[in-house]
């Protein structure tokens, strides 16, 4: 999953940075459009994706009495994503962060029985960041705030061999930022999450490097040029959609395994219906759009055909890949949309709590002379990101959406 997070994050950062002016057709007058300037909540905000090394002292001490492991594997590769940060002043910011290893800790050959048992670890937090300039091109920062640590457990022969853990504690860190461009920083950082003796959970240290993209105010001249360029960015779209597994889960498997830019899941969705609304809040001249949206969906599982409902709010990145006379074609991607899910055990698998996250990706088009019709195909995924001790994530197969813009 971390490989998908890293690749997806890199994709969003790079495409967002590259979504700049392209050659446009002869400009035509357009109605007043404030969406070519970042709205207040996005101005001076940022997101960060970094990768690095994680360290923690998992040993036999975490096992219950009577259980011994021949060895414990502790893979080091990990990822950290600051999904949303905002500068309140030149020096002070706050950010929502998520961290996890690429591969989980494994306890091997317990009590002489061949096999491995994985222990998932994930961390999330809200931290405040204090930034201090060192030179015109470099700065240092320290951060501190509240974090949540979550760890799964496992059983051997029906007996608990390792207890799950879930608790809140402080989260601290610091590092350096090198300002490669006015909007892009190269980051070097370290993060510390304390352990908890009552759970036999060791402390965690994470050392990372990666990129941070800042949403700086767009110059007034660019705001006007982008607004009047003549390319259509519909302000609103209302859609209905249908989901089916008639075409199997080939797309889900392709993009979660062979081309790892998305996620699969243990719970398979058989079919479903969705009502969806999206509002465009920012766009560049031709290529990039950022939307916020909401959806209500009803699903049936593929195993026991159990029904459940999801209600989601989400951010969405849209990248136009072709502007043609009959249609504007785009690629869409959404991450970590907060979601209520009505059922927490589906087909006998525990998905966590009633709070989870929605992700989706797809290919779509705005059709017709005035681009009043929208059509899209894509796949979805629901998961709590291992922030709960159980996480049988859900994969949603091919979904077809159709709607109207206004």
List the domains of the chain with CATH numbers: 44-215 (2.40.160.20), 222-405 (2.40.160.20)
Mean pLDDT of the chain: 91
CA distance 245 to 399: 9
Q: What are the distances in angstroms from CA 188 to CA 48, 215, 254, 298?
A: 11, 20, 33, 43
pLDDT of 184 strictly over 70: yes
**Angle of CA points 191, 194, 199, to nearest 5°:** 140
Q: Which of the four pLDDT bands, split at 50, 70 and 90, describes residue 113? A: confident
| Residue whose pair of structure tokens reads 């059709």 in the numeric block | 367
pLDDT at 33: 81
Q: What share of the chain is helix, strand, coil (3-state, %, to 5)?
A: 10, 55, 30
* pLDDT(30) > 70: no
* Residues 6+ away with beta carbon under 8 Å from 362: 331, 332, 376, 377, 378, 379, 399, 401
Whole-model pTM: value is 0.84
Predicted confidence band of residue 129 (pLDDT cuts 50, 70, 90): very high
């Amino acid at each position: 999953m971390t490989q998908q997070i890293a690749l997806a994050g890199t994709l969003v950062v790079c495409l967002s940075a590259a979504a700049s002016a392209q050659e446009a057709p002869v400009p035509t007058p357009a109605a007043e459009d404030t969406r070519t300037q970042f709205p207040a909540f996005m101005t001076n905000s940022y997101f960060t994706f970094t990768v690095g090394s994680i360290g923690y002292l998992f040993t036999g001490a975490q096992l219950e009495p009577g259980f011994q492991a021949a060895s414990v594997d502790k893979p080091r590769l990990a990822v950290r994503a600051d999904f949303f940060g905002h500068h309140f002043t030149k020096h002070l910011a706050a950010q929502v962060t998520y961290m996890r290893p690429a591969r989980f800790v494994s306890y091997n050959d317990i009590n002489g029985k061949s096999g491995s048992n994985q222990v998932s670890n994930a961390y999330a937090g809200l931290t405040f960041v204090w930034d201090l300039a060192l030179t015109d091109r470099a700065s240092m920062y320290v951060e501190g705030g509240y974090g949540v640590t979550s760890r799964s457990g496992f059983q051997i022969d029906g007996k608990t061999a390792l207890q799950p853990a879930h608790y809140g504690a402080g989260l601290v860190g610091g590092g350096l930022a090198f300002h490669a461009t006015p909007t892009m920083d190269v980051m070097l950082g370290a993060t510390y999450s304390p352990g908890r003796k009552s759970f036999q959970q060791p402390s965690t240290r994470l050392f990372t490097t990666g990129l941070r993209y800042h949403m700086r105010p767009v110059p007034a001249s660019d705001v006007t040029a982008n607004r009047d360029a003549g390319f259509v960015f519909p302000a609103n779209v209302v859609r209905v959609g249908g989901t089916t597994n008639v075409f199997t889960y080939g797309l889900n498997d392709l993009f979660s395994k062979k081309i790892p830019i998305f996620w699969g899941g243990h719970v398979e969705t058989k079919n479903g219906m969705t009502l969806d609304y999206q509002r465009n809040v920012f766009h560049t001249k031709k290529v990039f759009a950022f939307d916020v949206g909401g959806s209500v969906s009803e699903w049936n599982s593929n195993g026991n055909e159990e029904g459940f409902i999801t209600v989601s709010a989400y951010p969405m990145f849209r990248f136009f890949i072709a502007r043609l006379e009959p249609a504007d074609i785009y690629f869409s991607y959404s991450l970590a949309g907060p979601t209520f899910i009505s059922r927490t055990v589906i087909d006998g698998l525990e998905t966590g709590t009633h709070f989870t996250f929605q992700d989706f990706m797809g290919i779509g088009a705005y059709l017709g002379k005035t681009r009043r019709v929208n059509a899209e195909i894509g796949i979805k995924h629901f998961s709590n990101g291992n922030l709960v001790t159980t996480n049988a994530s859900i994969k949603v197969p091919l979904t077809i959406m159709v709607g109207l813009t206004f």
